[in-house]
Chain A
Amino acid sequence: MALLAAVALTTLLANGATRLRGVALAFLAVSLAANAIALSLTTLPQIAVLVSAGLVATTILYVAARDGDYGEDPGWRLWAATLIAAIATPAAFTSFRTITGEAPDLPLLGADSGNVIVQVAAFWLLSSGTAILVTARTAVRTSLGALLMVTGVQLLIRLAPGPQLAFTIGVAWLEVFIALTGAFLIVNERAVRE
């Protein structure tokens, strides 16, 4: 539960940041917290790949900012995105949660046996990312929304059966690729404005 709170708070930080470098650092915190939440489902090589992808994506966005001032002020969009995520997360959880008669055990510290926290964190990241993407005005918040969503997908994929290391490498590549595409657009957008 404590890590779920960390994911929520770091997402809010990233969502509220007005500077791209702040967004990049807050995203790194989201990525680390999300990986920590799913630690019990993850092998060491997977963790190495995912943490590396988070670091690379953060570095790409940090470098794309070129200085500490560039960014997008979310304004009212911060509250809209938070509200949408707060409504959509429980709705998604109740719609897609595996139906069992048992009440899940949710410890304050440590992993839960039924992966409830992993699913809630994934739905929170997906709904926050969707709200940010839909309300974004520039490539800065568009990239943030996409990266948050792919972080949520990384959590859900860990619950799916199949070759987990291959999936992890694929989604890590996707995260880096989204960061690269976002950075490319951010640099071009800035060139047009200036």
Chain B
Amino acid sequence: MSLPLTAPIALLAAMALVCFPVRKQVLLAAVLSLISLAAAAAMLLLAADGARTEVAGLTLHMTPLARLAGAALLGILAVLVADVWLDEPAYNFFPIALGVAAAVVAVLLLTDPLATYAVLLVALLLPVGSFTFQIHRNRSVDAAVRHFAFVALGGTIGLAALALAASLPRDQPQTTFVLLVVILYVAFALKLAVIPFHTHAALLARETPATALALYFGVLAPTTVIAFTEILTGSGLLPAIVQLGRVQQLLLGMGALSAVGGALLATGAPDPRRLVVYSVISGLGMALVGIGTFSGPGIVGGIAVALATGASAAQQLLAAGTLERRAAGGPVRAAAAPLAAAAFVAGGVGLIGAPPLVGFPGRFFVELIAYSFAEWLGVALVTATGLLLLAQLRMALSLFADGLPSWRPERRPVAGALGMLIFAALLAGGVAPDAFLRPIATFAEEFLRALRPL
């Protein structure tokens, strides 16, 4: 007997409610969270392809992409929960992580664009509870308010655009569809913090805990990219978009701006966290270029880049948090936590998309297809990758500027060990890329069918 697809969502949501009152008993909350995440991941992995569940007129559908992304994102969440439990106790984190997990699984399984978007909005608002931390010593409340404003603005205008797209008859002037697509794109850009809507990201990077940042940039940013493609597929706007060259040029231009701009900002980043956040913004820009090409390799590459960027960003942010805590206000140096520093550098390799890690095929596809579209687009993306390489090298040199007194790992090397776990997963994906790329390719076929319906 197979479980309904609502089971993992219900389990995670229920456990978020259970964890809330016991959140101050860190051990209990952490263990409950890890067991729930593992059980939900197992349910996703065991569900049959094409399985469907109806709830109140809404359909949940199991696809290969939902299984892959669900397992990967729940895995990253489990790593974050383990880090908070063992290294950086923050009791609000556990129920929030479970709530985010429930929303992420719902986003991946729901088929109706309006429902997917509404759940995504809830998922993006949930981390606000983990952003505020030691509020009298920093500006984390300001950062959380700004995040709330950006997400609420982007979320509601996007939802309004989707509701309009669903209610308007198809015989509208082209400008109506251009406007709707532009509004929808801006709505997602606001939520993803891509350039030029990135101003709150810098404040978040400075003021909020590293684990909360990892929740947003490591889990929710890739989820938002996947939701963007799924919503475009289901919205019925794609055939109108493909007839309008201007819209595609706008999507590609904005994506390239974010890819290059994020990489440029990363080269000047004054601390490890901002380096990671700007690198993620650059990676998301590249993912948007891939999706904006409306081609199979571009879509596969774009989603692959988003997922790999999320995993590497989580790895680097956990390591950066540990290095900053061990530095205790002084310069951040590898000597304080050699294994965390190694995990940070390894995460940088993943963010650049260097072979043999799983981020490589995605970047390769997007850069290749970008060249076939326009030379300037390909040059922009390769430049962005080059700038990211420079930025990561600069930070790595700064971390090891004083050398290492010994190569022995630090005491309680939690972030380092968890970082190496993520690195191993990215390496395994890079060694067998077919297992990672095939589920995304299945979705890309569905996207292309929606683009040119018979």
Please give the residue numbers on chain A whose beta carbons come within 8 Å of chain B beta carbons, in ascending order: 95-96, 98-99, 122, 126, 129-130, 133-134, 136, 138-139, 142, 145-146, 149-150, 152-153, 156-157, 159-163, 165-167, 169-171, 173-174, 177-178, 181-182, 184-185, 188-189, 191-192
B179 touches A165 (CB 8 A): no
Partner of B115, one of A149, A170, A181: A170
Asked if B56 contacts A181 (CB within 8 A), the reply is no
Q: Is the CB of B112 within 8 A of A191?
A: no
Partner of B160, one of A139, A156, A162, A189: A156
The CA of A17 and the CA of B180, in the complex, are separated in Å by 33
Main secondary structure of the interface of B (DSSP, over half): helix
Q: A156-B167, A184-B128, A188-B132 are in contact. Are A173 and B122 (CB under 8 A)?
A: yes
**Bound state CA distance, A141 and B297, in angstroms?**
44
Q: Which of B121, B156, B166 touches A152 (beta carbons < 8 Å)? A: B156
Partner of A163, one of B58, B149, B160: B58
Contact indicator A166/B58 (Cβ below 8 Å): yes
**B56 & A163 in contact (Cβ 8 Å cutoff):** yes
Give the chain B neighbours of A134 by CB distance below 8 A. 153
Partner among A146, A165, A171, A184 whose Cβ is within 8 Å of the Cβ of B57: A165
A167 to B58: give the CA distance in the assembly, Å.
9
Complex Cα distance A165/B173, Å?
31
Provide the bound-state CA to CA distance between A139 and B145, in Å: 6
Q: Does B90 contact A (CB under 8 A)?
A: no
Instruction: Let me know if B193 is at the binding interface, CB within 8 A.
Output: no
Q: 8 smallest A-B Cβ distances: which pairs?
A: A163-B57, A146-B152, A149-B156, A156-B163, A160-B166, A166-B56, A159-B167, A170-B118
Which of B119, B129, B148, B163 is A146 in contact with, Cβ under 8 Å?
B148
CB distance from A49 to the nearest CB of B (A): 12
Q: With an 8 A cutoff between CB atoms, is B276 at the interface? A: no
Interface SS, A side: helix
The distance from the CB of A24 to the nearest CB of chain B, in whole angstroms, is 17
- Bound form: Cα–Cα A162–B118 in Å: 14
Q: Are A122 and B160 in contact (CB under 8 A)?
A: yes
Check A126 against B157 for contact (C-beta < 8 Å). Answer: yes
Q: Which residues of B contact A (CB under 8 A)?
A: 55-58, 112, 114-115, 118-119, 121-122, 125, 128-129, 132, 135-136, 141, 144-145, 148-149, 152-153, 156-157, 159-160, 162-164, 166-169, 171-173, 175-176, 179-180
Q: Which B residues touch A184, using CB under 8 A?
A: 128-129, 132
Closest to B55 in A: A166
B145 CB, min distance to chain A CBs, angstroms: 5
Given contacts A95-B179, A99-B173, A173-B122, contact A166 B57 (CB under 8 A): yes
| Shortest distance from the beta carbon of A184 to any chain B beta carbon, whole Å | 7
From known contacts A99-B172, A153-B160, infer whether A174 and B122 are also in contact, taking CB-CB under 8 Å: yes
* Known A138-B145, A181-B125, A184-B129: A133·B152 in contact at CB below 8 Å: yes
**In the bound complex, do residue B114 and residue A160 qualify as a contact, i.e. CB atoms below 8 Å apart?**
yes
A95 adjacent to B176 (CB under 8 Å): yes
Chain B residues whose CB sits within 8 angstroms of the CB of A165 once the complex forms: 56-57
**Given contacts A139-B145, A174-B121, A133 and B160 within 8 Å (CB-CB):** no
A145 to B180, CA, bound (A): 21
CA distance A129 to B347 in the complex (A): 40
B156–A192 touching, CB < 8 Å: no
Q: With the chains together, A176 CA to B169 CA distance in Å? A: 31
Q: Smallest distance from the beta carbon of B188 to chain A beta carbons, Å? A: 16
Most central of B55, B167, B172 by chain A CB within 10 Å: B167
Instruction: Say whether A98 contacts B57, CB under 8 Å.
Output: no
Contact partner of B175 among A95, A138, A139, A162, CB < 8 A? A95
Complex Cα gap A139–B163 (Å): 27
Interface CB pairs A-B, < 8 A, 27: A95-B175, A95-B176, A98-B169, A98-B172, A99-B171, A134-B153, A139-B148, A142-B148, A145-B149, A149-B152, A149-B153, A150-B152, A152-B160, A156-B163, A157-B163, A162-B57, A166-B56, A167-B114, A167-B118, A170-B114, A171-B118, A171-B159, A173-B122, A177-B125, A184-B129, A189-B145, A191-B136
Minimum CB–CB distance from B412 to chain A (whole Å) comes to: 30
Closest to B146 in A: A142
Instruction: Note all chain A residues with C-beta closer than 8 A to B175.
Output: 95
Complexed CA–CA distance, A145 and B149 (Å): 9
Other A-B contacts than A156-B167, A166-B57, A170-B118, 5 sampled, CB-CB below 8 A, are A95-B179, A99-B171, A163-B56, A189-B145, A192-B136
For A167, list chain B residues within 8 Å (CB). 114-115, 118
Chain A proximity of B49: nearest CB distance (Å): 24
A95 to chain B: which residues have CB within 8 Å? 175-176, 179
